[in-house]
Amino acid sequence: LDVAAKSIGATGEQLNIFRPWLAGLTLSVAPLAKAGYDPASGVELTLKAKAEAAGKSIHGFESLADQIQVLAGLPEDEQLVFLRSTLEDYDDAVTMIDGMVSAWSAGDVAALDRLVVEDMKAESPVIYRALLVDRNADWVQQIQGLLAGSGTAFIAVGAAHLAGEDSVQAMLQAKGVTVERLE
């Protein structure tokens, strides 16, 4: 913890004040920012800016508070799993995200499944369920509501939500919705 904390200009003692999920989240973004990854240039925010510029209405599936609650609501032992995983992967975080970006850019959903989903599922089924399965199920209900309405809806979600057997599109297909991947 001390070594990782020093890389963000803090001490392990300072991070110990945080709940484990917050310490893990804080540390997980630091190496990516140092490597030049800018959260403001992510796909979802880029698409949101384009939609706003085009005068389109925008609806989020969950609020920032909802997203925080997913991690904050994890049992303490699972928060510690999350923190330990962040610390174990800390030195390889940039390589890992580079692999995810490459897989996403190539449309390689199977690689995303291996790189993100399967690792998460193996490391902590509880975290996997909270971060992906439960949220995907909620989003699928919201998507079905959008599909039942009038007009056209454009939906953007993080890549991990589109990989694996519990993906958004797999859940939609299980409910009888025709899903087609476009390239």
Domain ranges of the chain: 39-174
Which residue type does 72 have? A
Which residue type does 84 have? R
Which residues of the chain are under the pLDDT cut of 50?
Answer: none
Which residue type does 70 have? V
- In the block, tokens 């199977």 appear at 110
Q: Quick: pLDDT tens for 56-102.
A: 989 899 999 999 999 999 999 999 999 999 999 888 888 998 999 89
Distance CA 4, CA 17 (A): 15
pLDDT value for 39: 75
